[in-house]
Amino acid sequence: MTTLAETQPFLKRLFERLDFAPQPIGAETKHALEHWRTTRRGVAPSFADVVADLRHSGFAFRAVPEARDYEIVIGAKAVAPLLGAVAEGARLSEAPNRRGAVRLRRLFDEALRVGEPALVEFTLVEKGRDRAGVELLAAPLALADGALGAVLGAMNIQRFETPAPAREAPPRGDEQILLFALGSSRALGERVARELGLALSPHEERRFEDDERKVRPLVEVRDKDVYVVSSLEGEAGDSGADKLMRLLFFIGALRDAGAARVTAVSPYLCYARKDRRTKPLDPVATRYVAQLFEAIGADRIVTIDAHNIAAFENAFRIESLALDAQAVFARYFAHRLGAEPVAVVSPDLGGEKRAELFRQRLETIFARPVAKGFMDKHRSMGEITGEIFAGDVAGRAVVILDDLISSGGTMARAARACRAHGATRVLLAATHGLFTRDAEAALREAPIDEIVITDTVSTSETVAQRLRGRLVTLGVETLLAEAIARLHSGGSIDELLETGPKGAP
Ligand code: R5P
């Protein structure tokens, strides 16, 4: 029976075929499966029996659950085509080929979760038109205590060359890439361009007496793969709605001028918080914004830490990519927090999932338990209420994680609650530092040691001055540049989401 239908979509994308009733074709995978079946006792063979008799080309890994990792016990040479040069005793996370390591880890997790051998097929793109079909088997093994905690693997690689395209037209990904950045996103756009080894393409922005705008490219865009960086936060003299309009009209102009593809890169997306009806006859603004992008002819949209990922993905019928800054924050806090006990807190129940993923990520990095907590929150007519706090923060440095800081009220009250429950230090982590109204005052008065944001939106000089000494801004240019490079060349976005940008833990 194939359980492909029960498999999570990202695994389906990662492996062209994933089957738990494996019938391998290759010699190595066939041999390994036969060996697994003949040594099987109960649910799975014992690790010791299989490893003692592992011949030819198989390999075996033991799970390291506390690190969400696997350690290679035998067969480093056999698995090298997928992982690069690895030594026995090394962990998957240390393999030179991170993409191969991610594939193996997901497959091993799946085989141990299901308790059956799993066979997958996928295509490895090598140089130019050279490709290789990979057949990969993973079968669970039992440790001395009977628990499934190791995996037997084997693989076959068949190399083939993709036939040359019949027509002259450049295949997807071969068009030249052009990057524009509008308004106050210019500085971020320049950093992204530098990461990509490009220069920003020039454009003209004009504002007329009645405040209407005109934006046009100043280079030829016909048949180009175009990316437009424009964060959509409101700022003095330029509301989120103004910026949205400007971006939409620019996309329209690019389409009219014959661009092959246009991707809107809006690290902060406006109107994302109104993603459902909370009162009768309420609008669902997230969906209307999506319809505007679709109607004007955008091909894709990229954002970072969408307020509600499910709502964002459901709203768009064009390709929508929700990146997150978790790896960027994790890299910072891994150095910042050192050996002290840590807790991650969500300042409201809506952000609990985001905070939990971050907590797990920190736990993997620190290889020690990281506690959690969350706070009740209700907002009505701008007034925030809800006093219930749950969590183990006493004696710990607390990271309060949220997608954004607007008036600062949410973070300030969560910080007070953490301190009241015994937190030693309170550090805020929010992807988008909007700092509206008197946010700086609200945050200055609260017991907050540090406010860590990213540069998805530009911070005004006034805000930076008022929060001086406590504000840290992390860059998202590498994340955006890697996403753009992968979108342009057809690389794996799943892998980027899993591992974060270069250098992230
Ligand atoms: C709300 O659900 C968001 O995740 C943020 O918690 C909220 O928008 C922050 O707003 P403020 O800073 O005004 O409390």
* Mean pLDDT along residues 231-258: 96
What distances in angstroms separate CA 114 from CA 83, 141, 195, 379, one per listed residue?
24, 12, 41, 43
pLDDT of 169: 43
Tell whether the model's pLDDT for residue 488 goes beyond 50.
yes
319 Cα: distance to centroid of ligand 1 (angstroms): 27
286-332 tens-digit pLDDT: 999 999 999 999 999 999 999 999 999 999 999 999 999 999 999 99
Tell whether the model's pLDDT for residue 340 goes beyond 70.
yes
pLDDT of 56: 59
399-426 tens-digit pLDDT: 999 999 999 999 999 999 999 999 999 9
User: Domain ranges in the chain?
Assistant: 4-159, 177-323, 326-475
By alpha-carbon position, which residue is closest to atom 13 of ligand 1? 407
Name all residues whose Cβ lies below 6 A of ligand 1. 347-348, 350-351, 402-410
Pairing verdict, β 17-19 and 59-64: unpaired
pLDDT of 100: 85
Q: Which residue has the higher pLDDT, 12 or 76?
A: 76
Phi and psi for 20 in degrees, rounded to 5? -105, 10
Q: Which of 10-14, 103-107, 461-465 has the lowest mean pLDDT?
A: 10-14
Pocket test of ligand 1: the residue of 276, 307, 346, 405 to mutate, having most ligand atoms within 8 Å of its CB, is: 405
Architecture of domain 177-323: 3-Layer(aba) Sandwich (3.40)
- Is residue 492 very low, low, confident or very high in pLDDT (cuts 50, 70, 90)? confident
pLDDT of 462: 93
pLDDT of 3: 52
By alpha-carbon position, which residue is closest to atom 10 of ligand 1? 406
* Mean pLDDT along residues 364-387: 89
Domains 4-159 and 326-475 belong to one CATH topology: no
Q: What angle, 0 to 180 degrees and rounded to 10, lies between the N-to-C axes of helices 240-256 and 285-296?
A: 20
CATH (residue range 4-159): 3.30.450.20
pLDDT of 385: 84
Kindly tell me the number of DSSP H helices and DSSP E strands found in the chain: 16, 22
105-159 tens-digit pLDDT: 989 998 998 899 999 988 776 555 566 778 899 999 999 998 999 999 998 887 7
Pairing verdict, β 342-346 and 397-405: parallel
The sign of the CA dihedral 422, 426, 428, 434 is: positive
Tell whether the model's pLDDT for residue 285 goes beyond 50.
yes
By alpha-carbon position, which residue is closest to atom 5 of ligand 1? 404
Tell whether the model's pLDDT for residue 239 goes beyond 90.
yes
- Indicate which atom in ligand 1 lies nearest the CA of residue 405: 12
pLDDT of 216: 97
Tell whether the model's pLDDT for residue 44 goes beyond 70.
yes
Cα–Cα distance measured from residue 301 to residue 305, given in angstroms and rounded to the nearest whole number:
13
Q: Which of 240-249, 384-393, 439-448 has the lowest mean pLDDT?
A: 384-393
* Mean pLDDT along residues 347-360: 95
pLDDT of 82: 86
Pocket test of ligand 1: the residue of 276, 402, 445 to mutate, having most ligand atoms within 8 Å of its CB, is: 402
pLDDT of 290: 98
56-90 tens-digit pLDDT: 568 999 999 998 999 999 988 888 888 988 898 99
Q: CATH number of the domain at 326-475, out of 3.30.365.10, 3.40.50.2020, 3.20.130.10, 3.60.70.12?
A: 3.40.50.2020
141 Cα: distance to centroid of ligand 1 (angstroms): 47
- Is residue 175 very low, low, confident or very high in pLDDT (cuts 50, 70, 90)? confident
Tell whether the model's pLDDT for residue 173 goes beyond 80.
no
Sheet strand arrangement including 300-304: 177-181, 225-229, 261-265, 300-304, 319-323
404 Cα: distance to centroid of ligand 1 (angstroms): 6
Q: What is the DSSP string of 3-53?
A: -GGGS-HHHHHHSSEEESS----SHHHHHHHHHHHHH--TTS-BHHHHHHT
35 Cα: distance to centroid of ligand 1 (angstroms): 56
- Is residue 381 very low, low, confident or very high in pLDDT (cuts 50, 70, 90)? confident
pLDDT of 42: 82
Pairing verdict, β 342-346 and 371-375: parallel
pLDDT of 18: 81
Cα–Cα distance measured from residue 118 to residue 22, given in angstroms and rounded to the nearest whole number:
6
384 Cα: distance to centroid of ligand 1 (angstroms): 10
Q: Is 133 helix (H, G, I), strand (E, B) or coil?
A: strand
Q: Which residue has the higher pLDDT, 493 or 326?
A: 326
The sign of the CA dihedral 73, 74, 77, 82 is: negative
Cα–Cα distance measured from residue 382 to residue 397, given in angstroms and rounded to the nearest whole number:
30
pLDDT of 125: 63
Phi and psi for 313 in degrees, rounded to 5? -65, -35
Q: Which residues are catalytic?
A: 377
Q: One-letter amino acid identity for 246?
A: R
